[in-house]
Structure 1
């Protein structure tokens, strides 16, 4: 369980910082209704990352998990279970603004729209932010022993 974290939105047609490509191969632009998440898994467990991606992800506390691993998100007492599960890597370490605002989860536009339906979909990738928590279902079995 990862609690009291900052959750933001990524991907889709209106994200100026995202091409739509994900590490899992699913395009958020070609699949605008996909309900998935991006979790910062340890970059040292991935062989084909760029140096910038390694700087952003190496040392993340989350081990490599299969794409599609299910996640339960809780925001303001409401739970959301994105159907596609984990589809991408991130947010990177640089995304956190400080120790009191740990940025640990990104959600697709479709998930953000369920959490904040009052925000127009075309604005979610740049304006959505929420405090919440998430739990990776079955995640413990992927933890590497020291």
Structure 2
């Protein structure tokens, strides 16, 4: 008799009382590969609000190669109404970073312009090769 009641309870818990919530995330959609041999490189991202989502985040996943002489400073920035960019997040990377391990992500608001700014720490740096993904990721519930 106990086995019948346990079976009924398990059935009700598995199929009637538990609801699932699914979430979907799209990864950074823009791919790049460049050699940083000057002072800075910047990527502009316009209005991520064109895609409906519950949460937006700006970020990058880069592989940095041939960077033995100096560090790179990578900033996630937002444009203000006066046209100036303000830093949301800043990270310094020195040396080589393999397998998309140089990464950062910051939650942002839609309907603004953003940029990712990559600067070398000094003018005496050798050219560093950077490749990977950047852009806006979208998080929404299904």
Quickly name the TM-score band, shorter chain normalised. Answer: under 0.3
* Higher RCO (CA < 8 A, seq sep 6+): 2
Higher helix residue share: 1
TM-score, normalised by the number of residues in structure 2? 0.28
TM-score (norm 1): 0.27
Bigger Rg, which one: 2
Higher strand share: 2
